[in-house]
Amino acid sequence: IWKECLSIIKENVPYITYNTWFLPIKPHELENNTLKIFVPNNFFIEWIEEHYNTLINKTVNQVLGPEGKLVYIVYEENDPFEELKQPTSEKKPESAAVVEEKKSEFESFLNPRYTFENFIKGEGNQLARAAALAVADNPGQTSFNPLFIYGGVGLGKTHLMHAIGNKILEKDSNKKVIYLSSDAFTVEFVEAIQSDRVNEFSAFYKSMDTLIIDDIQFLVGKEKTLDLFFQIFNTLHQSGKQIVLSSDKPPKELKGLNERLISRFSWGLTADIQPPDFETRVAILKNKSESFGLELSNDIYEYIAHNITSNIRELEGCLIKLLATSSLNSKEIDFNLVKKIVKEVSTNKQVSISIDYITKVVCDYFKVDENKVREKNRKKEIVLARQIAMYLSKVLTKSSLKTIGLHFGGRDHSTVIHAYNTMELLIEKDGNVKEIIESLKNKIEMSAA
């Protein structure tokens, strides 16, 4: 019976298609009007149904009569594409899978936590966000194809890409949207080569409505993967399917990517994401802690936002650590804990406090002229301000005594040591001084950015 079907199919499809897709199918059994056939894997079923559904139906009806039905059984246990799809099949005891339902869904690998709703808008991400929204509303229909998002680590590229995919599916759950990292793409490609399934691999991706590939800088140097990616890209682009890509650098700077690809990328829109400004950082912190069920004072948000400046993942990491530490030790989240954790998390702490800034804060407090503090003025209140500024410079920066001395009129390191010792003594003896120093220290740490 299946042979009969095959001969009809053979006449209706190109030889290569017949060879690739229909020959590997083996008949299993015929029950009433239902013909069960073995197929190599789920991907086969999907592909055949997508491309040859009418032909198959016609053939089956012709051979088996109008009641004729076809049931697919996957005969291979390790289907490399299995992971990519939600099981549409039930496992049978002998571990063969019977596909009863026609509609085959597949896994998009989209993280539902990343949406536009919880993506905070800021100056640094304005363009990328706007473009992403436009693409999500009209995939493949805007001139932003491909949409190429680039920017440093932890600035929201991955978040935006998932948001695009989620929104497209929200509007139309039948759309085939897939997100994957370029690493995953490479690994699957290598597996496809090893199991001689490159055509299926390529056909699978070419059948997407929206293809989202993250961190394509990791494709650089992988010539074979890039070649195939190029083909997939062209097919999708030509048929008006949306492509979204990200990288840590703009296309031009992806050394080792060939010109063909770079020029393709510039067909669409290249949008960068810049580090968030202070207000955006505070807004992100508030938003994140809300989602953790955590409520902190504005001072704390601002302190964190002042000290962690370049990376949103670190802002988030700081909150998580705060939450973990405070709940582990059932401790209130107080300012000391915040300070400690920010110090642990932040990577750019040392550069954020400068001697000049310390000098400014101290002089503001004592209402003295900064220049006089830097010169060799011996007026009493100037000397005090200078000594405090030197002391705080020693405590709050990693600068050497020599460097600190240079900032204060080229005094040598022994002067700085003297100032430091004098202040230590004063702080110990005089509660007032201690308080002033503490509050200056806090102020400097709080606003150092």
Residues within the interface to ligand ADP (CB under 6 A): 114, 118-120, 125, 151, 153-159, 284, 312-313, 316
Toward ligand ADP, which CB reaches closer, 158 or 359? 158
CB distance 166 to 115 below 8 Å: yes
Closest CB 313 distance from ligand ADP, rounded Å: 4
Q: Coil, strand, or helix at residue 18?
A: helix
Closest CB 119 distance from ligand ADP, rounded Å: 5
Closest CB 314 distance from ligand ADP, rounded Å: 9
* Among ligand ADP, Mg ion, none, residue 153 binds (CB under 5-8 Å by kind): ligand ADP
Closest CB 42 distance from ligand ADP, rounded Å: 30
* Among Mg ion, ligand ADP, none, residue 59 binds (CB under 5-8 Å by kind): none
- Is 156 one of the annotated binding-site residues? yes
* Among Mg ion, ligand ADP, none, residue 224 binds (CB under 5-8 Å by kind): none
Strands 97-99 and 89-91: antiparallel
Count other C-beta atoms under 10 Å from residue 188's C-beta: 20
The answer, yes or no, to whether the previous bond of 112 is cis (omega within 30 of 0) is: no
CB distance 446 to 339 below 8 Å: no
Q: Coil, strand, or helix at residue 347?
A: coil
What is the distance between the alpha carbons of residues 103 and 339, in angstroms, rounded to a whole number?
A: 55
What is the distance between the alpha carbons of residues 427 and 425, in angstroms, rounded to a whole number?
A: 5
- Is 36 one of the annotated binding-site residues? no
CB distance 211 to 243 below 8 Å: yes
Measured at CB, which residue is nearest to ligand ADP? 156
Residue 347 tokens, joined: 């990577």
Toward ligand ADP, which CB reaches closer, 286 or 372? 286
DSSP H helical ranges for 223-379: 223-238, 259-265, 278-291, 298-307, 312-328, 335-345, 349-352, 355-366, 370-374
Toward ligand ADP, which CB reaches closer, 311 or 387? 311
Q: What is the DSSP string of 398-428?
A: ---HHHHHHHTTT--HHHHHHHHHHHHHHHH
- Is 158 one of the annotated binding-site residues? yes
By CB under 5 A, name the binding residues for Mg ion. 157-158
* Among ligand ADP, Mg ion, none, residue 411 binds (CB under 5-8 Å by kind): none
* Among Mg ion, ligand ADP, none, residue 425 binds (CB under 5-8 Å by kind): none
Toward ligand ADP, which CB reaches closer, 209 or 316? 316
Toward Mg ion, which CB reaches closer, 104 or 158? 158
CB distance 250 to 150 below 8 Å: yes
Q: Which residues pair with 297 in a beta bridge?
A: none
Measured at CB, which residue is nearest to Mg ion? 158
Toward ligand ADP, which CB reaches closer, 52 or 150? 150
Strands 69-74 and 97-99: antiparallel
Closest CB 313 distance from Mg ion, rounded Å: 9
Closest CB 224 distance from Mg ion, rounded Å: 24
Closest CB 117 distance from ligand ADP, rounded Å: 10
Query: What are the residues whose beta carbons fall under 8 Å from the beta carbon of 305, sequence distance 6 or more?
Result: 278, 281, 282, 285, 315
Toward ligand ADP, which CB reaches closer, 125 or 399? 125
* Among Mg ion, ligand ADP, none, residue 60 binds (CB under 5-8 Å by kind): none
- Is 152 one of the annotated binding-site residues? no
User: What amino acid is encoded at 80 in this protein?
Assistant: P
Q: What is the DSSP string of 31-84?
A: ETTEEEEEES-HHHHHHHHHHHHHHHHHHHHHHH-TT-EEEEEE--S--TTGGG
CB distance 282 to 301 below 8 Å: yes
Distances (CA, A) of 123 to 27, 137, 181, 274, 370: 61, 22, 26, 8, 34
Toward Mg ion, which CB reaches closer, 145 or 158? 158
Toward Mg ion, which CB reaches closer, 251 or 405? 251
* Among ligand ADP, Mg ion, none, residue 316 binds (CB under 5-8 Å by kind): ligand ADP
Query: Could you tell me which of 97, 139, 150 has the C-alpha nearest to residue 243?
Result: 139
* Among ligand ADP, Mg ion, none, residue 237 binds (CB under 5-8 Å by kind): none
Closest CB 218 distance from Mg ion, rounded Å: 11
* Among Mg ion, ligand ADP, none, residue 434 binds (CB under 5-8 Å by kind): none
CB distance 362 to 440 below 8 Å: yes
Closest CB 314 distance from Mg ion, rounded Å: 14
Residues that constitute the known binding site for ATP: 154, 156-158
Residues that constitute the known binding site: 154, 156-158
